Amino acid sequence: MQLGLIGLGKMGGNMAERLRRGGHEVVGYDRAPGKRDVDSLEALIGALSAPRVVWVMVPAGEPTRATVKELAGLLEPGDVIVDGGNSRYTDDQVHDVMCREKGIGYVDAGVSGGVWGLENGYALMVGGTKDDVAKVQPVFDALKPPSPTDEAGQAVPGAGFVHAGPVGAGHFSKMVHNGIEYALMQAYGEGYELLAAVDLIEDVPGVVKSWTQGTVIRSWLLDLLVRALDEDPALERIRGYAEDSGEGRWTVEQAIENSVPMPTIAASLFARFSSRQDDSPTMKAVAALRNQFGGHAVRGIQAEEVERPA
């Protein structure tokens, strides 16, 4: 299948590579000249055969809004736009109305996998009509992780991909996913801080590593905390400062709007606000985890930013 991909950064570039490895043709555009295959959105559209599928992988907010608006003026009826960033679901609904007026399909795709998705695959939460999702399905199939198998060796359906509902459902699902992620990282960070605070524990990284097998709290995030501690056992090179990228706030706002109690996720969001005032060991662990799974920049002890290579 042929795909236009806009945004070839840490995730977009890896997604393009995974798709190419899967036998798909990707025409990529990025503002950075060294990464792109074409020099403009017009050239991108011209390089694709109708009906076209164009995947937008740029920062949420105004960059995505401007890109979708420009694409809607360039594409033709029957084409499909996919927003694979972390847009707010209400933006998707506005974009869908604008695109429908022109006969252009719109799909929102919540994507999880960070810098590890190239090798491991990406979990995908998708919103849109059945027809539009079907047009993009070969791309989704190539991006998602291999299906796990049950005891009989049969593939487990649904793992790593879901058509969650109409437009907006994909990014709403990813928003909740990221809210849960906030809470999980906060819990691991608090546990790390208590271990580090007492003289009784002589091998804090070893304790954390021991939890990765046979326990009910084992997870990929825990594996990444072990990795971070292997690289920096006392997290001395990282400030306890963690950004929030928006989804945690939106999740709490939706909890309030729908009268859903969400004390744990709310507390983890507020803890990130606190991290900007105190150099907390808990937030050092949270910052290290964000760096490990997503390549997000962290603040070093000299205030410079440090990124994991994509």
Global confidence as pTM: 0.86
- Token pair recorded at residue 272: 């990130």
Concerning whether 10 is annotated as a catalytic residue, the answer is no
The answer, yes or no, to whether residue 307 has pLDDT greater than 70, is no
Strand order from edge to edge, sheet including 123-127: 25-29, 2-6, 53-56, 80-83, 105-112, 123-127, 161-165
Q: How far, in whole angstroms, is CA 276 from its chain's centroid? A: 23
Percent of the chain with pLDDT over 90: 76
246, 64 Cβ separation under 8 angstroms: no
Percent of the chain with pLDDT over 70: 95
The fold for domain 2-166 equals Rossmann fold (3.40.50)
Confidence class for position 244, pLDDT limits 50, 70, 90: confident
Per mean pLDDT, which range of 22-31, 128-137, 295-304 is the poorest?
A: 295-304
Model pLDDT for residues 43-68, shown as the tens digit of each residue: 999 999 999 999 999 999 999 999 99
Concerning whether 70 is annotated as a catalytic residue, the answer is no
Beta pairing, strands 53-56 & 80-83: parallel
The answer, yes or no, to whether residue 308 has pLDDT greater than 50, is no
Q: Which member of 135, 181, 190, 284 is catalytic?
A: 181
Q: Which member of 10, 144, 174, 284 is catalytic?
A: 174
Model pLDDT for residues 289-301, shown as the tens digit of each residue: 988 887 776 676 5
Q: Looking at residue 207, what is its pLDDT?
A: 98
Measured CA to CA, the distance from residue 207 to residue 209 in angstroms comes to 5
Domain ranges of the chain: 2-166, 174-306
The fold for domain 174-306 equals N-(1-d-carboxylethyl)-l-norvaline Dehydrogenase; domain 2 (1.10.1040)
Mean pLDDT of all residues belonging to the chain: 91
